[in-house]
Structure 1
C-alpha cells in the first residue's frame, strides 16, 4: 500500500516537474499568471466598488475608511508576507525534489495563519478607538472608524487562512483554484455592499459597519471554497492539521523570505499612517484623495502583482533546479509584461484623472486636489514595474531582505521625509512629487542589487 501510494506521488511530482521545468516559458507563464492577474483585477474592482458605496454615505465615512486603510494593509501584509515565504520555499523544495519537506512547509503555514489572526483580533477589540482618535477629533469619523476597524480585525482569520491556501496552491503551479476562490469572494462582496450599507430588501441600514461585514463575509466565502479544494482534491503538496510539530528551521526558512515581504507591505501601512498625518493638517479632502489614489492604483498594480504570483513559482522552481536559462527567460518576459501594464496605467491616470476621482462622489475641493495629484503620482508607475519584478526575483531565489531594503528606501527613508519637506516648504500640490522621486532612487538600488545577484548566483550556472 505504501509503495503504491509512493508511486502515485512520484508520478504526480513528475507531472509537476515537466510543467515547471520543461513547458515553454511563455506558455507556462501565461497559464500561471493570467488566472492570478484576473483574480487581482477582481480584487481591485471590489475594493473600488466598496469605496464608491462608502463615499455615497458621505465624505466623513470615506475619511474614516481611509484612516483605517493602513490597518487593512497591515493585515494583508502579514498574510501575504507569510504566504510569499511559503510560496518561495515550497516551490524551491519541489524543484529540489524534497517533497516531504514541501508538505511540512505547507502545514506550518496553516498553523501560522491562526497565530497571526490572534494578534489582530486583540488589536481590534482593545485598540481600535485609540488608533482612530489619534488622527481626528470628529466624532462622526471616530465612530465610523472604530466600527469598521473592529469588524475587519476581529474577523481577519478568514483572510489569513484564505491567503495561506492561495499561496500553497500557487506554489504547486495551480493558479486556477485561487482565481475561482477570489472571484467568488469578490462577487459576494459586490452584491452585499449596497444591501448592507444602505439597507435594501428589508435588511437594516448599517452604513460603514455594513461595508465591513460584507468584506469579511466575502473573505469567509473565499476561505471556505479554498479549503474545500485544498482538502478534497489531489495536489502535489499535502497539508496536515494534526500531528504537526513546529520546527524552528522551517519557520526560519519561511520567514527568511516571508518576513522581508511582510515588512515591505507593512511599511506601506506605516507610510500611509505618516502620509495621513501630514495631509490631514491641510484638509480631510487631501486624506480622501490619498485613499482614493490607493484604491484606483490597485486596479493598475494588482495585475502586476498577479504576474508576480504567477512568476515567482517558476523562478523559484528553476532556481532550485539550477536551470538559470529558464529562470532568466521567465524574468525578462515578466519584466516586459509589467512595464507594458504600468505604461497603460500611467496613460489612463494622465488623461482621465478627474473622471476617475468623480467615481467617488468627489467634492470640488477633492477634484481640484486630486486631478493634479493623480497625474504627478502616476509618473512612478513605470519605474515601479521594474522594481516589483526585480523584487519578485529576489524573493523567489531566497533573498527577500534585498527586496526589504529597497522597499524601506522607497516608503520610509525617502517618501515620508520628501512629503513633509515638499508640503512644508512648497505646499500640498508639490507633496505628491515624493512618489516618483522615491521610486526613481529605489529603482537605482534595485538595479545594483540585481547586478550583484546575477553575477554571483545566476550567471555561474549559465556559463
Structure 2
C-alpha cells in the first residue's frame, strides 16, 4: 500500500493527484482552525463577560501562534526534505530526518511549557492586557500551554504523513481532535461553568487524542517512513538543514504573534478594547481565508518535492500551475463575499452591536486587498517545497517584518484617524509583498529547474 501511494506522486495525473491530496489537507486546515475559531465563537457569547473574555483570549493568541510556529520549524522544515530524499530513492535518509524531528519536537515542548508557565503573565501585560482582560487571558494561556507537547506532536508530525501521500490519514488525525474539541468546549464553558478555562481544557484533551493517533500511525509501520529508535538521536548533519528550511514557515507563523502584538498595542492606544476586539475577529476571518490555501500548498508539496528530487521538472511545473490558479480563484471569491457581506462574517463571532459595527468598518479597510494572498502563498510555499531555504526566509520576513509591522507604527503619523491608519497597514503591505514575491518567483523558478536538469544530466554522464 505504501509503495503504491508513493508511486502515485510520480505517475498519477497531476491535477487529479493534487485534488486528492489537497482536499483532505484543506479539510484538515479548516478543522484545525476550529480549535481557535470555535473557541472564540463560544467565548464571545458567554453572558455578561463575552466581549472582555474574547478580547483576553485574543491577547493570548500571539503566544498560541508562537507555540504552533515551533512545530512548523521542525515539521515543515523536515517533511519537504524527506520527500526530496524519497524522490531520490534514499528512504533511510528520509526516515532519519523523521526520527530526528520527533526528538526535536519533544525537546521543544518541554522548553516552551516551562517558559510560558513562568513568564506568561508578563508577556500578556506586554501584549496589551488590562485589568479587565488579564484574568481571562492568563487563565486561558496557563491551561492551554500544559498541552504544548500534544500540539507539537500533531502539528509537527502530520506533515510527514501528508508528504508520503497519506493526506486522508493526516486529515483524520486533525479531524478527530477538532470534533472532540467542538463537542467538549460548550459543555465545559456553559454547562460546567468553566468559562475560558473550559475552552482551553477542551483543546488540550482534543490535541492529546490527535497526538495518540499520529504516533500510532508513525510507529506502527505500514508506511514508507516510520519513527525508529535507531534514528531517535539528534545529529547535526540531519537537523541543521531541517532548521534552515523550517525557519521560513517558523517566521511566517511566529511573526504572526509579533504582528498581533503590534496590532493589539497600537489599537489599544488608538481604539481601546473595542479596537483590540475587532482585530481579534479580523484575525479569525483571515484564518478562514489562509487555511484552505495552506491546505492546497500542503497537497502540492509532496508532488513538487518528490518530483523535484526525481528530476521530473514537468510535473513540478504542472503542480505549481494548478496550485497558483486554484489559490488565486479561492482568494478572489472569498474577498468578494467578504466585501459584500462583511456583517455576516463578523456576527458569527460577536453579538455586541458596538463591536460588530466597529469590526464591519475595519473589515473593508484591513481586508481591502486580501485577494492577492493566493499568489503570495502559492509562490512562497513552492519555494519551501523546492528546498530553497534562503529565498523562503527572505519572503517570510518581507511581508510582516520588513513591511507590515513598521507600517503599523508609521502610517498613523500621516493620518488624523489613527485607528484607520493601523488597519490600512495590512492592504499596503499585501500589495507591496505580492509584487516582490511573484516577480522573484517567476525569475527564479526557471533557474531552479534548469539547475535541477543540469544536475540530472551530469549524474547520467
Shift of 1:422: 2.7
Indicate the SS of the match to 1:423. Answer: helix
Contact map agreement 2:263 2:422 (CA 8 A) in 1: no
- Report deviation, 1:449: 2.3
Structure 2 contact 304–386 (Cα < 8 Å) conserved: yes
Number of the residue aligned with 1:4: none
Note if 1:418 corresponds to 2:410. no
Taking the aligned partners of 1:220 and 1:241, their CA distance within structure 2 comes to 22
For the 8 Å contact 1:16–1:172, the answer to whether it is kept is yes
Equivalent in 379, 382, 397 of residue 390 of structure 1: 379
The Cα shift of 1:109 comes to: 1.1
Matches for 1:73-84 after TM superposition, within 5 Å: 73-84=65-76
Runs of 4+ in structure 1 deviating by more than 6 angstroms, as ranges, are none
Deviation at 1:395, TM superposition (A): 0.4
Tell me, in whole angstroms, the C-alpha distance in 2 between the residues paired with 1:290 and 1:255: 31
Deviation at 1:223, TM superposition (A): 0.8
Could you say which residue in structure 2 is the equivalent of 1:142?
134
8 A Cα contact 1:64 1:145, kept in partner: yes
Number of residues of Structure 1 aligned to a counterpart in Structure 2: 448
Alpha-carbon separation, structure 1, partners of 2:183 and 2:171: 18
Pick one of 290, 293, 306 that aligns with 2:279.
290
Q: 2:223 matched to 1:216?
A: no
Q: Within 5 Å, which residues of 2 pair with 1:428-443?
A: 428-443=419-434
Deviation, structure 1 residue 12: 5.0
Q: How does 1:203-352 map to 2 (within 5 A)?
A: 204-241=192-229, 244-281=232-269, 282-352=271-341
Q: Could you tell me how far apart the structure 1 residues matched to 2:34 and 2:234 are?
A: 38
In the superposition, the TM-score normalised over structure 1's length comes to 0.92
**Residues 12 and 218 (structure 1), Cα distance of their counterparts in 2 relative to 1, 3 Å cut:** closer
Question: Which residue, out of 8, 24, 28, partners 1:35?
Answer: 24
| Structure 2 unmatched ranges of 5 or more | 455-461
Deviation, structure 1 residue 48: 2.1
The question of 1:377 aligning with 2:369 is answered no
Task: Identify if the C-alpha distance between structure 1 residues 376 and 62 changes in structure 2 by more than 3 Å, giving closer, same or farther.
Answer: same
Equivalent-residue separation in structure 2 for 1:135 and 1:97 (angstroms): 48
**What SS is found at the alignment partner of 1:450?**
helix
Match of residue 59 from structure 2: 67
Cα distance in 2 for partners of 1:455, 1:342 equals 25
CA distance in 1, matches of 2:84, 2:193: 49
Which SS does the other structure have where 2:414 is aligned? Answer: helix
Aligned mates of 1:252, 1:80 — CA distance in 2: 15
Name the CA shift for 1:462/1:243 in 2 (closer, same or farther; >3 Å). Answer: closer
Among 419, 440, 452, the alignment partner of 1:449 is 440
Q: Aligned residue for 2:12? A: 23
Match of 1:49 among 38, 43, 47: 38
Aligned residues of 1:85 and 1:256 also touching (Cα < 8 A): yes
Q: Are residues 459 and 379 of structure 1, via their aligned partners in 2, closer, same or farther at CA, if it must alter by over 3 Å?
A: farther
Q: Matched residue of 2:447: which SS?
A: helix
- Give, in whole Å, the separation in 1 of the partners of 2:127 and 2:62: 12
CA distance in 1, matches of 2:233, 2:352: 56
